[in-house]
């Protein structure tokens, strides 16, 4: 199957923080792939903007290094790299001062889309937005992209929203949550709203519970300072995990359009129950086999920040009342595996004689690795021996079903950047959504900080603290295995 790639219109994309980690790891390699795929046109320009003293050649050398480091060898093609570098330039800009802004204005071309990626600390969003506007670098058709973290609580998120709104209309602001750009996450919407099969069953009458797991094997080494101020709740739950929960739980939007989708997600966030502290488990990984502990990684022997969190969340509305959502995420767990599992209720009565209990179907949506979906169904075990029941997966790994094109689906970032150029905000968070998410998160964080709770230690390579297992056992349920 050959994917149909439609080139986007020519653009000037300015990356503030163009020499930073995110630009090197994700944004620049992603743009290169879009060029190689024929989606980024040869007339597009990428302009690195940062405080460091450099010039076009210096920045091109940095970009070249980033491509070598973060792209697999088979994706690197010298001719395409030369073309990509010829579309790149650099402007030295002082985000909070006056230097460089005139140069940047002189750099921008008329008649092409202008997009500005804020891959910088949130404290710089306001000053940059203000200068783009005051210096006439941005106009009413320009777009700005705000990278996370979008605040650290409700108050700071409100302030950021106010600072951006002072210079740009909401329709120009693209708040990135890269989980929304993941292939399977979008597929979740296709499966829910493009098929008749699931929607009638998609409620508390037929679904027993839902599990959302984002397990990572990496620790926090290298970004300990940021992480220790944040913790898993702010870093993963407030944004990525809540977005996944919203897509599972939301009502069908009337159209697949930005505000229809975002209105429905907002309703879910506003219907979230507060979580009883007994239904929250926080953890920190311990030292093991020469590997530092979380506290050693962040350099604070008394840190009370969690790098693992599991909780049971309820949604107070007609569709979900009584069906819990269990979410968990953590660092240095046994495998890198992200999955949403929709666990259906068991059949109401067992007509078979077997005594191993009733079976329940599970629809599992794997975000990574091996993106795909699997539906567990109960069948008769083949062969003689009477009516023995067996659970088997109806498996749909995208790579298998759709061929190599699916395996090479664009990375979340590159897909989202193309959406910015196309002017499609569907997969970006609206200001009120981010604020509602913080409004739900703040009291939970405030609760454990106020009580001085200390996270539970857990072994590296495990599934997290034992108490997280108990969280489900108490309800007569269990977590699915964390498997790569
Ligand atoms: C980021 C978090 O937003 O998402 C990181 O700040 C986390 O802590 C990362 O590791 C996970 O993203 P992915 O795409 O690797 O699952």
The predicted pLDDT at position 360 comes to: 84
Which ligand 1 atom is the nearest neighbour of the CA of 235?
6
The CA distance from 253 to 255, in Å, is 5
Q: What is the CA radius of gyration of the chain?
A: 24
Whether the CB-CB separation of 360 and 346 falls below 8 Å is answered with yes
> What's the sign of the alpha-carbon dihedral 315, 363, 187, 238?
positive
The predicted pLDDT at position 368 comes to: 86
Q: Whose CA is nearest to atom 2 of ligand 1?
A: 235
The CA distance from 302 to 455, in Å, is 11
Q: Please write the tens of the pLDDT for every residue from 117-166.
A: 999 999 999 999 999 999 999 999 999 999 999 999 999 999 999 999 99
Phi, psi (deg, nearest 5) at residue 264: -70, -40
Stretches where the chain sits below pLDDT 70 are 1-3, 354-358, 398-399, 401-408
Enzyme catalytic residues: 240
> Residue 53: which of 100, 111, 115, 108 has the closest Cα?
100
The predicted pLDDT at position 406 comes to: 57
H helix or E strand, kind and range, residue 362:
strand 362-368
Which ligand 1 atom is the nearest neighbour of the CA of 331?
10
Taking residue 259's Cβ as centre, other Cβ atoms within 10 Å add up to: 15
The predicted pLDDT at position 408 comes to: 64
The predicted pLDDT at position 432 comes to: 98
Q: Whose CA is nearest to atom 15 of ligand 1?
A: 216
Phi, psi (deg, nearest 5) at residue 354: -50, 150
Residue to mutate (ligand 1; options 149, 236, 414; most atoms within 8 A of CB): 236
Q: For residue 122, give every residue at least 6 positions away whose Cβ sits within 8 Å of its Cβ, in sequence order, or none.
A: 146, 149, 150, 151, 156, 160
The predicted pLDDT at position 69 comes to: 96
The predicted pLDDT at position 23 comes to: 96
The predicted pLDDT at position 415 comes to: 94
Q: Whose CA is nearest to atom 4 of ligand 1?
A: 236
Q: What is the value of pTM for the model shown?
A: 0.95
CB within 6 Å of ligand 1 — which residues? Answer: 148, 216, 235
Angle at 21 between CA 220 and CA 407, to 5 degrees: 85
151 prior amide bond cis, ω within 30: no
Structural tokens at position 32:
């290169």
Q: Whose CA is nearest to atom 13 of ligand 1?
A: 179
The predicted pLDDT at position 357 comes to: 64
Residue to mutate (ligand 1; options 178, 214, 307, 411; most atoms within 8 A of CB): 178
How much distance in Å is there from the Cα of 271 to the middle of ligand 1?
26
Whether the CB-CB separation of 335 and 484 falls below 8 Å is answered with yes
């Amino acid at each position: 199957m050959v994917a149909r790639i439609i080139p986007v219109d020519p653009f000037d994309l300015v990356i503030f923080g163009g020499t930073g980690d995110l630009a090197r790891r994700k944004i620049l390699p992603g743009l290169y792939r879009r060029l190689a795929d024929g989606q980024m046109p040869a007339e597009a320009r990428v302009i690195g903007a940062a405080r460091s003293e450099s010039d076009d050649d210096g920045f091109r050398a940095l970009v070249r290094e980033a491509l070598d480091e973060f792209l697999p060898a088979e994706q690197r093609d010298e001719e395409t790299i030369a073309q990509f570098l010829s579309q790149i330039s650099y402007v030295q800009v002082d985000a909070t001062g006056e230097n460089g802004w005139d140069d940047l204005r002189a750099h921008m071309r008329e008649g092409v889309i202008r997009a500005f990626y804020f891959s910088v600390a949130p404290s710089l969003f306001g000053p940059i937005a203000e200068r783009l506007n005051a210096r006439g670098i941005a106009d009413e058709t320009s777009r700005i992209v705000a990278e996370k973290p979008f605040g650290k609580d409700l108050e700071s998120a409100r302030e950021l929203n106010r600072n951006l709104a002072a210079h740009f209309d909401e329709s120009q602001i693209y708040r990135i949550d890269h989980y929304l750009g993941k292939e399977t996450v979008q597929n979740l919407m296709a499966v829910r709203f493009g098929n008749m099969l699931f929607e009638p069953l998609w409620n508390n009458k037929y679904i027993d519970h839902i599990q959302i797991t984002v397990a990572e094997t990496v620790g926090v080494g290298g970004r300990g300072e940021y992480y220790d101020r944040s913790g898993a709740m702010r870093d993963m739950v407030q944004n990525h995990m809540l977005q996944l929960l919203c897509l599972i739980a939301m009502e069908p939007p009337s159209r697949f359009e930005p505000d229809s989708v975002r209105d429905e997600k907002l309703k879910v966030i506003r219907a979230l129950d507060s979580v009883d502290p007994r239904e929250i488990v926080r953890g920190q990984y311990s030292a093991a086999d020469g590997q530092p502990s979380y506290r050693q990684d962040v350099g604070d022997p008394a840190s009370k920040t969690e790098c693992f969190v599991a909780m049971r969340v309820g949604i107070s509305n007609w569709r979900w009342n009584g069906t819990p959502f269990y979410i968990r995420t953590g660092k240095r767990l046994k495998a890198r595996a992200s999955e949403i599992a929709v666990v259906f209720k068991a059949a109401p009565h067992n007509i078979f004689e077997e005594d191993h209990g009733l079976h329940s179907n599970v629809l599992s949506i794997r975000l990574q690795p091996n993106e795909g979906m699997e539906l567990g169904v109960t069948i008769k075990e083949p062969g003689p021996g009477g009516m023995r029941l067996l659970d088997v997966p109806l498996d749909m790994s995208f790579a298998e079903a759709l061929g190599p094109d699916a395996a090479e689906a664009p990375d979340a970032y590159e897909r989202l950047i193309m959406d910015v150029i196309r002017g499609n905000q569907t997969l970006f968070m609206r200001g009120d959504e981010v604020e509602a998410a913080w409004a739900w998160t703040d009291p939970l964080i405030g609760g454990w900080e106020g009580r001085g709770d200390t996270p539970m230690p857990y072994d590296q390579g495990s599934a997290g603290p034992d108490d997280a297992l108990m969280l489900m056992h108490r309800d007569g349920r269990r977590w699915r295995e964390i498997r790569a």
